[in-house]
Structure 1
Amino acid sequence: MKTSPPIRVIAPNFKRRLSGVTATVVRLVPVQAQDIAIVATGPVIPEHVPQIPLSALLTLPRKPLRVWHARRNVEMIGGLALKYLLGKQLKLIFTSASQRKQSGLTRWLIRRMDAVVATSDKTAAYLEAPSTVIMHGIDVKTFAPADDRMALRAKMGLPTQGQLVGCYGRIRAQKGTDAFVRAMIQIMPQHPDTYAIVMGRAVGDDDAYLTALKEEVAAAGLSERILFKPEVPTEAMADWYAALDLYVAPQRWEGFGLTPLEAMATGCPVIATRVGAFEQLIVEGKTGRLVAPDDIPALAAATDEALAETTKLQYWRDDSRYHVLANFSIEKEAQSLIDLYRRLLGD
C-alpha cells in the first residue's frame, strides 16, 4: 500500500466564513501539494484540499521539522502554542496583506515568526520586520474566458443582451459597494442596455446598509437592471467573472484584493480604486483604469468611458488575460512560497 510522505507544511485556516484568506488557502494548497507535502487544517476545509483535522495537531509527532504558515493573528498564536507548549518542531511563517499600522499584539506575534511574507510592496512598507514580497496568483485554468459569454449568461439566468458590469465581495462601506451602486445609477441613463450585478454577503449591521442600497436602486427605477445576488461558493466564482464585460473594484480600503486578478484572468477588464495592491495588478489604460478611492464621479466617468468605447474594451479584454498569464499565475505564487519553505526546512 502506498503511504503518504510525512507532512512538511501546515496551512491553517481557522475561520468558518468565506474570506479572502480562506480563498487563498483553498486555491493554493492543492497546487503546492504537487511539489511538497502540505496540508490545510481548520473547521471548514473543502474536501478537494489536502487536509488534516484540527484535532490531529495535538497528536502530530513532534518531528520532523515542519513549516506552519499562518495568515491571521489567531493562527500565529496557534503555531506558537504548538511549538512552545506542545514541543512541535516548527518554523513559523506569517503572511501579511494589511496596509495599516499593526496592533501591539500583531507586532509582538510577528517578531516571533521565522519569516514574514508581504503580499505587496505597500504592505511591506507597513511591516516593522524584514519581509519577502510574494504577490498572490490566480488559477488561470479555472479562471478563464468563456467560449460563449451569452450562452454562459443564459445558463446562469443572467441578461443575455447588452453589457454586464459586476462588483463582488463583502457588502459594506469599506468595500465601496455604495460607490459602485451610485456610479451605476449615474451612468445607466447613457447606457440603456447595460445591467449591473452586486454579489456578496452582508453581515450584522451591514444588512441595513444593503437594504438601503436596494431602496436607493428602487427609487431610481433600476431594480430590473441593478441586480443583487447572494454570495456563491468559491468554486463557482469563475463563471460569474467570465460572464461580465467589465468588473469594478470600488474599495475604500483593501489589504491585497484578489477580485481584479480573478476578473482579468477571465479576460474581464477592471475599473478599480488606488488601494490595496490594485496599482501593482492593473495596467492603466491597458487592462483597465484606476481612480482615487471614494471618488464616485471619477468612478462613474471611468466606467462610462469603458462601456462607451467597445473596441477599446475588447483590446483590454485580450490584454487582461495575457497580463495575468504572464505575471500572476498561482503556480508562480506557489513556487515562490515553496522555495521559502524549503529554505526554512534546510532542504
Structure 2
Amino acid sequence: MHWFAHQWEFATWSLRAARIPPDVDIVHASSVLAHAFAGRGIPCVVTEHQFIRHPEFMPWRGRLQSLYHDIVLAPMVTRSLRRADRIVSVSRHVADAIEADIRRPVRVIHNWVDTQVFRPREGFVRDGDGPLRVLFVGNPSRWKGADVIPVLSSMLGDEVEVHCVGGLRRAFPSDWVRHKNIRVLQSVPPERMLEIYASVDTVLVPTRYEAFGFVALEAMSCGLPVIGFDTTGTAEVCANGETALLVPRDDIDGLAKSIRALADPDLRATMGRAGRERALSCFTEDQGVSAYLSLYGEVLGGRA
C-alpha cells in the first residue's frame, strides 16, 4: 500500500507526473487527488467524504473557504468524479447530491467507528447524582450548532451541566465562563474521549449540516442517547425516537424538551442500548472493510 501525504491537496496537479508503482492494482483516493491518477491504466476508486457542492453544505462555508472550494478544489473534484471507475460516498444524502450533480451512480459505504474502543464502560458509574450531564464535541461554529449551547444553559439552569470538548480550529468563546453550568475543555487527546463519554449522560449534536454524523455514532457506540437537530448526516446515522431525540433545525425549545425528557434514567438506558445495537448492526469496521473489498473485486474483475 502506498500513501500520499495530505499536503498534496495544495499541489495535486503535480501528482499527474507521479509514477504509479508497478505492483499497484488499484488506486483509491479522495475526490481532490484522484484526478491525477484516473485514466492511467489502473482502476481508480474515489471516496467522497464531504461533497463541497452539496446544496446543504454550501451556505455554511465562510467567504475564504468558499473561494478556495470554488476556484481551487471544485475543478479537481469534478474531474475526479467524472473519470473515476467507481465513486463511493460515506452517506446516502451525499451520494444523492453527487448523482444529481454529475449524473453518475454512487455506491454508499458508511464510515464506521471502532466499536471495541467506543463502547460502554462496564461497571463505570459516574460520580454523584446532580444535574444531567450533556456533552458537546466539535468546533464552536454556528455550522456545528455551538451557538445554541449558551442559550440552552440559560434555559435549563441547574437542571444540566453542558460539557464542551473543542476541535482543532477555534477556541470556545471566553464569555461562556459566565455560565456556571458550562464546562469547557478546548481539546483533548483522542485516547481520553472514551473517558469523557463515560462521564456524561447524553450527547448533544446540534449540527446544522453533516456529511456523516461521527460524533453521533461515537455516542451510540458508547451506549449514550443523542439529542440534536434532525438534519442530514445526524438523521442518517441515528434512528429518531429510538437512539436519538431529534428536533427540527433551530428548534431550541425542542432541544430543551428533549434534554428534560432524558433526565429519566430508564429512558436513557433504553435509548443507549438501542444506540449500541444500531452501531453494531450498521456501522462496524468489518462491514465497511468487507464492502470495500467487494467493490475492489468488482472493479478488478472488470479489467480487460
TM-score, structure 2 normalization: 0.79
Q: Does the alignment pair 1:69 with 2:49?
A: no
Q: Does the alignment pair 1:231 with 2:187?
A: yes
Q: Does the alignment pair 1:148 with 2:123?
A: yes
Letter in 2 for 1:65: D
- After TM superposition, the runs of 4+ consecutive aligned structure 1 residues lying more than 4 A away are 10-13, 57-60, 101-104
Letter in 2 for 1:280: E
Letter in 1 for 2:106: S
215 and 165 in structure 1: CA distance in 2 versus 1, 3 angstrom threshold: same
Letter in 1 for 2:90: T
RMSD: 2.9
216 and 169 in structure 1: CA distance in 2 versus 1, 3 angstrom threshold: closer
Q: Output aligned runs, 1:169-184, within 5 Å.
A: 169-184=138-153
135 and 317 in structure 1: CA distance in 2 versus 1, 3 angstrom threshold: same
Moved more, 180-189 or 255-264: 180-189
Shift of 1:88: 7.5
Match of 1:317 in 2: 272
Match of 2:42 in 1: 89
Q: Does the alignment pair 1:200 with 2:166?
A: yes
Residue 97 of structure 2, aligned match among 98, 122, 126: 126
Aligned residues: 273
- 2:204·2:228 contact (CA, 8 Å) conserved in 1? yes
Residue 107 of structure 1, aligned match among 78, 87, 105: 78
Q: Deviations over 1:72-116 (max 9, x none)?
A: 52x234xx1x466xx683523232443714855233331121111
Letter in 1 for 2:270: Y
Distance in 2 (CA, whole Å) between partners of 1:166 and 1:344 is 42
Distance in 2 (CA, whole Å) between partners of 1:92 and 1:283 is 30
Q: Give % identity.
A: 22
Match of 1:18 in 2: none
TM-score, structure 1 normalization: 0.70
Shift of 1:274: 1.7
Structure 2: which 5+ runs fail to align?
10-14, 59-69
Shift of 1:160: 4.9
- 1:62·1:88 contact (CA, 8 Å) conserved in 2? no
Distance in 2 (CA, whole Å) between partners of 1:235 and 1:345 is 38
Shift of 1:132: 0.6
271 and 66 in structure 1: CA distance in 2 versus 1, 3 angstrom threshold: same
> Secondary structure at the residue paired with 2:147?
helix
Distance in 1 (CA, whole Å) between partners of 2:41 and 2:251 is 50
Distance in 2 (CA, whole Å) between partners of 1:181 and 1:13 is 39
61 and 284 in structure 1: CA distance in 2 versus 1, 3 angstrom threshold: closer
Distance in 2 (CA, whole Å) between partners of 1:59 and 1:108 is 19
